[in-house]
Amino acid sequence: MSRYTLHRDGLTKQKEKLFKEKNVAKWGIPAEDTRRAVDVINDAELAFAMMLPAETKKGEYLAEEAAFFTNQCYKEARRVVMQDYALGRWQFVDLGE
């Protein structure tokens, strides 16, 4: 999770810096998208979506990875709790007999 958070924060700072510079040549976009980039140079949301596509894709991968591991941890914790519940219930019923 921290790798994703560090990457996301660093990428956001880098994009903010590039947005302030207003130089689309440094955005890392293909040459055919330069015209569209010039059109959105004053719109932060659209510009951020276009900037640094390779780094953005890496961030998306890290987000998916973090979500996967979070989900796996949740499933494992739930499995252990249910296992402990079943064992405790069985012992309680056995004690009551």
Structural domains of the chain, count: 1
Predicted pLDDT of residue 97: 64
Predicted pLDDT of residue 19: 92
| Position 40, amino acid | V
In the chain, helix, strand, coil percent, each to 5? 85, 0, 15
Predicted pLDDT of residue 2: 84
Could you list the residue range(s) of the whole structural domain that residue 55 is in?
A: 2-96
CA angle 9, 56, 39 (to 5 degrees): 105
pLDDT along the chain (97 residues), means of 10: 88 93 89 89 90 93 93 96 86 71
CA distance 52 to 18: 10
